[in-house]
Amino acid sequence: MAVDTPARPTATTSAPAAPGGQTIRRRTFSTRKRPNLLGGLAGWIWLAIIILPIYYIIVTSIRPQADMFSENTLSIPSNPTLNAFGRVFANDFLRYFGNSVFVTTISVAAILAVSLMTAYVVVRSRKRMVKRMFQVFLLGIAIPIQATIIPVFYLILQIGLYDTLWALILPSIAFGIPLSVVILTNFMRDVPAELFEAMKVDGAGEWRTLWSLAMPLTRPAIGTVGIFNALQVWNAFLFPLVLTQSSRNRVMPLALWSFQGQFTIDVPGMLAAVILSVLPILAAYIVGRRQLIAGLTAGFGK
């Protein structure tokens, strides 16, 4: 039996045989997707909106202060210089940088340790008290930091930690734990219960199960929580402003004030400090970007 050749390429699929023994063939025509020109244009516009401020920060940081008002702000400097970075390092930048690194490292490490153990208990325990405790953590997410600044200031003052780096570390840990516990708990609940039971049958205790099973399987969520809290602590401004006073305990967000005088502002120096302060967080993102993306996209394929 001759079959007519179609005018354009088609794909044929065989259906189940009919009662008479004949095979019914269906033709499926290939379709070509049209390019989304509007979406592409919107994407390029959004990319320009993001890149333009970054470009302005970079070109202004290498522009001399004297040329700030004589040249176009978006043009490449005619006399590029790195004097602004020199002024940053001469203004105790390394001290402020070290303070921020210390506060961020201790805070994030404590948040991850407490949150991981708490999430493990919430997932594995069947006690009613544990469920109530988890509800308390959910309540902590709804409390804004600004509403608690006066009680926090009073507590820090009473325990004698005012104007110290620990005055920044303890509140950062307290406000970082609730959301971290929720994220790690939701991620750990996706771990099959059979794996925990297998570890228990093999004689592993709770600490061994947490270290050898729960921690490796929740590594994407741990990376997400770590980078998120590092950003929050590193860029915090309210707590350093209220809970510290002396320059020796100043952190990076407050260090930008050093470039503001009574009548003028050293814009190149301030933006140079901004570039230097972003480098550690950028490096942390480059190192842990895979874990961060895996943690943020977990559950979308289910």
- Say if residues 77 and 268 touch (Cβ distance below 8 Å): no
Average pLDDT, the chain: 80
Q: How large is the average pLDDT for residues 143-149?
A: 85
Write the pLDDT tens digit of every residue in 238-278.
899 899 988 888 898 888 776 776 556 778 888 888 888 88
pLDDT confidence band for 294 (50 / 70 / 90): low
Set out the domains of the chain in order of their start, with CATH numbers: 39-81 (no CATH), 92-296 (1.10.3720.10)
Residue 105, pLDDT score: 93
Does residue 3 register a pLDDT over 80?
A: no
pLDDT top residue among 29 and 58? 58
Residue 79 makes CB contacts below 8 A (sequence gap 6+) with: 64, 67
Percentage of the chain exceeding pLDDT 90: 17
Q: The whole model's pTM is what? A: 0.76
Q: Helix and strand tally (H, E) in the chain?
A: 13, 2
Q: Which helix (H) or strand (E) holds 29?
A: strand 25-29
**Is residue 24 within 8 Å of 47, Cβ to Cβ?**
no
Per-residue pLDDT, averaged over 220-237, amounts to 88
Q: What is the pLDDT of residue 27?
A: 53
In whole angstroms, what separates CA 292 from the centre of its chain?
A: 7
State the pLDDT at residue 113. 93
Give per-residue pLDDT as tens, 178-218. 888 888 888 888 888 888 888 888 787 888 888 888 888 88
Q: For residues 85 and 276, give the distance between their C-alpha atoms in angstroms, rounded to a whole number.
A: 9
Query: pLDDT at position 301, please?
Result: 46
Q: How many CA atoms lie within 13 A of 135 on its CB side?
A: 5
The confidence score (pLDDT) of residue 72 equals 80
pLDDT tens sequence across 153-180: 999 999 999 999 999 999 999 999 988 8
Q: What is the mean pLDDT of residues 117-138?
A: 82
Average pLDDT over every residue of 118-133: 83
Q: Quick one: pLDDT band at residue 114, thresholds 50, 70, 90? A: very high
- Residue 106's pLDDT is what? 95
Give per-residue pLDDT as tens, 24-48: 555 554 556 777 888 888 889 998 8
The pLDDT of residue 300: 44
